[in-house]
Homo-oligomer: A and B are copies of this chain.
Amino acid sequence: MHINNPREQEFVDKLVRKGLLIPTGVAGVYGRNEVFEDVIHRFDDFITVSARNDMAEVIRFPPVLNRKNFELSGYLQSFPQLAGSIFSFEGTTEEHEKLLDTIHEGKDWSIYQKMTDVVLTPAACYPVYPVAAARGPISQAGCLFDVMSYCFRHEPSTDPARLQCFRMREFVRIATADEVVQWRDAWIERGRRMLEDVGLFVISDVANDPFFGRGGRMLAISQREQRLKLELLVSICSDENPTAVMSCNYHQEHFGHIFGINDESGNCAETACVGFGMERIALALFHTHGLDPNRWPAGVRGKLWH
């Protein structure tokens, strides 16, 4: 559990008073009003327009994932604490009565739930790899996907920028090592320009994922040394501790190997992804330009409401 920070609480309180965020009684789960949603949709459109010439293949998945593919993906090796699995009731009428009694008594009813074939999507790109693999060998030019999904991470927090359920727009490149690295690195500069275009002050940094457990520290160091994860960060609750709003990741052969994505000669394809944290970008815009988008600088409005 994230430690409460007075600046975060102050920002959340402002957003709630203005109606932009609507508490649900669970940390990191909010409703949003029309103004907040409009900002998300406008930035989403801005991404679409900015990347239009790339001709990415658009696919949209629901926020659940085939559990078997999730087990293969390696997510539970690295981030077991963040994953969400979906359980359901498969019992008899008698067990149903016991389930209801247990709830009525305020006790734990998890024994009446069984694991289903689906889990929550942890990052928008996860459903793409098995789909790409099923199509057969990757052509010389490789492929490029455009995905967006609600993602789930089990990390209840009072930080408004650390939601349990949030939208991630992502592009996924599958090609040779040289090509995916070049594509990923080009997106760092392009992403920086896009965020600066909407008036955000951006810094870039080498980063690491929140790997779990004792072995996690070594994985994080290795990930940083190889510069596999580059982030663009902006101020949301604090100027001293900026928040990542874009993450540009080079997976090497990780997904290609697991899901059997190969080129026409049978060589394992490499992958990279570039993700935008949509709620974080909206929060950064509200933090930077104020809570009323009608009063945002003309240049910023011109980019988003064109």
Residue numbers of A with Cβ under 8 A of B are: 22, 24-26, 29-34, 37, 57-69, 71, 76-77, 80-91, 93, 96, 99-100, 103, 108-110, 112-118, 120, 127, 130-131, 150, 152, 154, 156, 163-166, 212-215
Contacts and interface: CB of A to CB of B under 8 A. Distances in A.
Contacts of A66: 24-26, 29
Contact of A127 (B31, B84, B215): B31
A103 B119 CA distance: 14
Contacts of A90: 81
Contacts of A84: 86-88, 116
A86 B86 contact: yes
Contact of A60 (B37, B60, B116): B37
Copies of this chain, how many?
A: 2
The 9 A-B residue pairs whose C-beta atoms are closest, nearest first, are: A62-B165, A34-B58, A88-B154, A93-B213, A80-B89, A110-B115, A31-B61, A25-B66, A84-B86
Contacts of A214: 93
A85 B83 contact: no
A85 to B, nearest CB: 5
A133 to B, nearest CB: 11
Contacts of A108: 115
B60 A85 contact: no
B64 A76 contact: no
Contacts of A115: 87, 108-110, 113
Contacts of A163: 62
Given A76-B103, A87-B110, A118 B69 contact: no
Nearest to A86: B84
